[in-house]
Amino acid sequence: MAGSGWQIRVRGQVQGVGFRPFVWQLAQRFGLSGQVANDAEGVLILCDAAPEAFLAALRAEAPVLSRIDAVEVTPAPRPEGAGFRIAASGQVGAETRVTPDAATCPACAEEIRNPGRRQGYAFTNCTHCGPRFTILNALPYDRARTTMAGFPLCPDCAAEYADPGDRRFHAQPIACPTCGPRLWLEVAGAELPGDPIATAAARLQAGQVLAVKGLGGFHLACDATDAAVVALLRARKRRPAKPFAVMAPLEVLRDYCDLSVAALRRLTDPAAPVVLVPAAGRDLPDAIAPGMRELGVMLPYTPLHHLLCAAVGRPLVMTSGNLSGAPQVVGNDEARHKLGPFVDAFLLHDREIARRLDDSVERADPPMVLRRARGLVPGTLPLPEGFPDRQVVAYGGQMKAAICLTKRGQALLSHHLGDLDEALTWAEFQKADRDYAALFDHQPQIVACDLHPEFRATRHAEGRGLPLIRVQHHHAHLAACLGDNLWPLGGGPVAGIVLDGLGLGTDGTVWGGELLLGDYHAVTRVAHLTPAALPGGDRASREPWRNAVIRLDQAGCGDLADRLFADQPLATLRQMAARGVNAPLSSSAGRLFDAVAAVLGLCQVQSYEGEAAMRLEAVAEPAAPYPFGPGLDPAPMFRALAADLGRRPVGQMAGAFQAGLALAFADAARALVEAGQARAVALSGGCLQNAGLMALLQEALSDLPVLVHRQVPANDGGLAFGQALVALAVSG
């Protein structure tokens, strides 16, 4: 088309990340005339030419926080005039997405350390870093619709904001000490004089517990090297054993843990998650992570954290600012009320938090997301090939609750909300449902939920008054793994090894150790762990010794149960199981881990969900597998365990159990693939967060296609994603 110009449409996560000034700079480099603007669909470029080198650079050199889904080039009228400009934005809508909060970039980190107007300023940011989702009140994303609206720009910041050549061009949270939020240290309702960072650091070094206001909520902080204050924090927070996260600069972390290349990559990513890494080198107090070989570590991810960590010079515990089980505190007054009884001082600021976001948690080796939250949300996930463009909302389960929305070929899996048994978490869930729907202009045509009728999420789904699709718990796990791997809708059946705690089965019993055959549309339960009673119902999940007694009795080792648990009400327990009174049958792999941990003396009563299994994983050593019987029966394994007890190291017995479990399921799944019934094996469920078990399964299936979770949690945090995919598949 002679004399024509070109329209270049860029779709994806391309607003609020410095994309327009990036295009402007590219246009100068390539000598192009035209303009670039934001609009409702992303970024729109009109130019007099579209050379291949320019289009290649558009993708290859895009800003670090951007994510390009598509670049569409079509002929258009030639733009008038010379030069290239950044035009005023057109209509901006929910299709453009919101960028997740991002860790302080190297340029801003350098700026707060060196002389200049932002030296020591705790709210320094630019288009490459800083708060996004946690300050957003409404779309479009501009300052007036964020919690920065009450901080008018000073002339210096306004000049940076307006300059396309500045890295703060249209950075909505832009601030400096003259015009931005302020920081202060407060004790007993009174602001203390002096430098708040220096004073806070001195108190931390002196063994105090501080509440620190961050991006998505408050942390409780203390000196991670001080055993006495760590024990004090545990007592005050009523968190006896669940591991604490540790924050420190990279040069400090290296002294306490083994950082692989993969771990470094995740730690230094703009998402800045907590990463589980092996403890190594200098010891931290055992109370940081009782019974664990790994530490959950993170780097400072805001200027406030950078300044505080540098001033303290030691690793800091940074755990959620809440009482165990309750949502993280976000407001200053809320913090004074709820955290006042167990902190010594507050490090506060006056920028409001629009929505609470916990820290994301990941493994690097093997890579997996354990908790999807700050830094990852509201990033979207592409739907696999073949799925219809239909708006679905899915509400997940009761534990590790999350919500999933689908729209225009993308799935938005919400941040981790917590366990819906907790009243405040339930209120937060309802708020998140309204929040996501409003922010992303979501109008669902279909609702998806779990089979369990008593789950709060299920009852919420039933109350929407929309077509409802109920998805079996483990089918949703399998679908989430398939979707995480972009398995096409018509990709064919897979063998799904789904190992988790509890999920209601289609037969009315409690499932949890399953081999499924199927796809997004439907699954068949091919095999499962031999069921055992859960005497006491929910109490059996909290008290592993109960599971141990039943499993030992099944294996003909009741005399061992009598000896190991002589101080427990065994007769009553056995009567409950025999009569089926408050003792539902379950094939749960999670409860099997609990039983083995109790027999090995690792954990008889859990203080947090998953404690027994985590303690078993932490001690497990390589060992030949214990045998499982036909039909995935663990009774032979328990007999072998009983014979070894007291004669063999606990670590070897734990390893032999994990190896036996992995081999039994791998052999059963392999048979489906070799028979031509399945095209691959998918691994899902909360037990697959166990890196040792995952490695054993992958090794046993190394010659077959194996699908594992990467971006979507294998635990119940991924259920909503799987439910949404099943709903899209079965609704036609």
**Hey, what are 714's tokens?**
């294998």
387 phi and psi angles, rounded to 5 deg: -80, 140
CA atoms of 183 and 308, how far apart (whole Å): 12
**Hey, what are 232's tokens?**
């004090």
Q: Which one-letter amino acid corresponds to residue 377? A: V
From the candidates 20, 97, 234, 355, give the one annotated as an active-site residue: 20
**Hey, what are 109's tokens?**
């980190």
CA atoms of 217 and 413, how far apart (whole Å): 20
Question: Which helix (H) or strand (E) element contains residue 575?
Answer: helix 570-579
167 labelled catalytic: no
CA atoms of 517 and 602, how far apart (whole Å): 34
The string of DSSP codes covering 368-386 is EEEE--BTTTT--EEPPTT
- Angstrom distances, CA of residue 679 to CA of 138, 490, 491, 694: 45, 12, 8, 20
- Please report where in the chains the tokens 């670590």 appear, as a residue: 651
The sign one gets for the Cα dihedral 252, 253, 259, 262 is negative
CA atoms of 496 and 518, how far apart (whole Å): 8
Q: Are 536 and 543 in contact (CB under 8 A)?
A: yes
- Angstrom distances, CA of residue 551 to CA of 26, 535, 705: 66, 11, 33
CA atoms of 271 and 284, how far apart (whole Å): 26
CA atoms of 255 and 249, how far apart (whole Å): 11
CA atoms of 351 and 333, how far apart (whole Å): 13
Question: Which helix (H) or strand (E) element contains residue 71?
Answer: strand 67-76
The string of DSSP codes covering 281-330 is SSPPPGGGSTT-SEEEEE---SHHHHHHHHHH-S-EEEEESSSTTSPPP-
Q: Map residue 361 onto helix, strand or coil.
A: strand
Alpha-helical runs (H) found in 83-241:
106-113, 155-162, 196-205, 227-237
38 labelled catalytic: yes
Beta partners for residue 295, in sequence order: 277
**Which segments within 505-594 are labelled E, that is strand?**
510-518, 523-528, 532-533, 585-586
CA atoms of 134 and 310, how far apart (whole Å): 25
Q: Map residue 313 onto helix, strand or coil.
A: coil
Q: Are 394 and 720 in contact (CB under 8 A)?
A: yes
Half-sphere exposure for 628 (CA within 13 Å, toward CB)? 23
Listed residue (303, 474, 336) closest to 397, CA to CA: 474
Cα Rg, the chain, nearest whole Å: 27
From the candidates 38, 125, 485, 547, give the one annotated as an active-site residue: 38
Annotated active-site positions, please?
A: 20, 38
